[in-house]
């Protein structure tokens, strides 16, 4: 019985990405599930049965993490890149605490309630399908990869090293990074290159390890699709007090962010 499996979130029109993964990653010794259901063409005619916009649900997901999102947004601004995280997050928390939600939404319109786009719903459902397979097959954890990941020459060796040296208790390990986010000065390095992240949160959803326990909590909660996948993951981490870690440097490269692939998120 395998302790884990790989789950590749694949949009079937991304033929070049599939070919790259088969040529460079797929081997007989890897247990790999291709998550190809819920492509946007597959769900477009049943969207009303899958997704309904709900402003209250949006705020349920976003409100607890607004300070984190704002601090992240400030942290990738060149003006604040050298500002300690503690200063950014404390300032963001104070701002959110002392501001009415309409004021926050006016200042940061990217977090206003909105309908999810069909590609966001597709991605969200694919990730949830992977969690269900992890639990159904009783894997200790899963390795989630979106199909725009790019390997480094050292990726496989570094992944093997990570898997043999994970902390005793963890729920989420980001291995791909993204959005310009890196560990900050207060994030303890528990083993070389692996940082404990508080409050627990994602960078992107391109590549990560996720525990069976955390998958089970998400599935049992059974929330309706509400927000982009990485924001929902951060909400779940906070709700279930997940133990989150980030790798730096990362094991794999986020291909869409580095322009190795053209994003088809539209």
CB within 8 Å of 67: residues ≥ 6 apart = 89, 92, 93, 95, 96
134 by Cβ neighbours in 10 Å (0-12 / 13-18 / 19+) ranks as buried
The pLDDT score that the predictor gives to residue 226 is 98
Beta strands 194-197 and 244-247, pairing class: antiparallel
Q: Is the pLDDT of residue 266 over 60?
A: no
pLDDT, position 85: 82
Q: State the pLDDT at residue 113.
A: 98
**Do 204 and 99 touch, CB atoms closer than 8 A?**
no
Which of 3.90.550.10, 3.90.1150.10, 3.30.70.1020, 3.40.50.2000 is the CATH number of 4-53+115-254? 3.90.550.10
Give Cβ neighbours of residue 19 (< 8 Å, ≥ 6 apart).
Answer: none
Q: Alpha-carbon distance 210 to 174, whole Å?
A: 9
CA–centroid distance for 146 within its chain: 10
Give percent of the chain with pLDDT exceeding 90. Answer: 82
Residue 139 pLDDT more than 60? yes
pLDDT score at 263: 64
Q: Is the pLDDT of residue 260 over 80?
A: no
Burial 197-207 (b: 16+ CB within 10 A, else e): beebbbbbbbb
What's the half-sphere exposure (Cβ side, CA atoms, 13 Å) at 185? 10
Helix (H, G, I), strand (E, B) or coil at 64: helix
pLDDT score, position 178:
83
CB-based contact 35:130 (threshold 8 Å): yes
User: Which pLDDT score is estimated for 80?
Assistant: 86
Look at the pTM and tell me if it is higher than 0.75: yes
List, for residues 59-90, the tens digit of each pLDDT value.
999 999 999 999 988 888 888 878 888 889 99
pLDDT in tens, 152-181: 999 999 999 999 999 989 999 999 998 888
Express each pLDDT in 173-228 by its tens digit: 999 998 888 888 788 999 999 999 988 999 999 999 999 999 999 999 999 999 99
């Amino acid at each position: 019985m395998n302790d884990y499996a790989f789950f590749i979130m694949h949009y079937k029109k991304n033929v070049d990405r599939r070919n790259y993964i088969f040529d460079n990653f797929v081997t007989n010794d890897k247990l790999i599930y291709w998550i190809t259901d819920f492509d946007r063409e597959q769900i477009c005619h049943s969207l009303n049965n899958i997704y309904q916009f709900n402003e209250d649900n949006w705020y349920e997901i976003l409100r607890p993490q607004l300070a984190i999102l704002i601090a992240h947004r400030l942290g990738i601004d060149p003006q604040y890149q050298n500002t300690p995280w503690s200063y950014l997050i404390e300032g963001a928390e104070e701002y959110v605490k002392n501001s009415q939600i309409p004021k926050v939404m006016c200042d940061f319109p990217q977090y206003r309630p909105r309908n999810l786009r069909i590609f966001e719903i597709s991605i969200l459902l694919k990730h949830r399908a992977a969690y269900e397979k992890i639990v159904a097959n009783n894997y200790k954890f899963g390795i989630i990869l979106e199909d725009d990941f790019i390997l480094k020459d050292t990726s496989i060796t570094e992944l093997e090293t990570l898997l043999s040296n994970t902390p005793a208790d963890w729920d989420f390990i980001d291995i791909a990074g993204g959005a310009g986010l890196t560990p900050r000065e207060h994030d303890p390095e528990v083993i070389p290159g692996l940082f404990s992240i508080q409050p627990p949160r994602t960078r992107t959803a391109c590549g990560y390890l996720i525990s069976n326990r955390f998958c089970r909590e998400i599935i049992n909660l059974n929330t309706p699709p509400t927000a982009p996948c990485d924001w929902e993951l951060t909400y779940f981490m906070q709700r279930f007090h997940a133990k989150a870690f980030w790798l730096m440097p990362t094991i794999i490269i986020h291909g869409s962010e580095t322009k190795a692939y053209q994003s088809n998120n539209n």
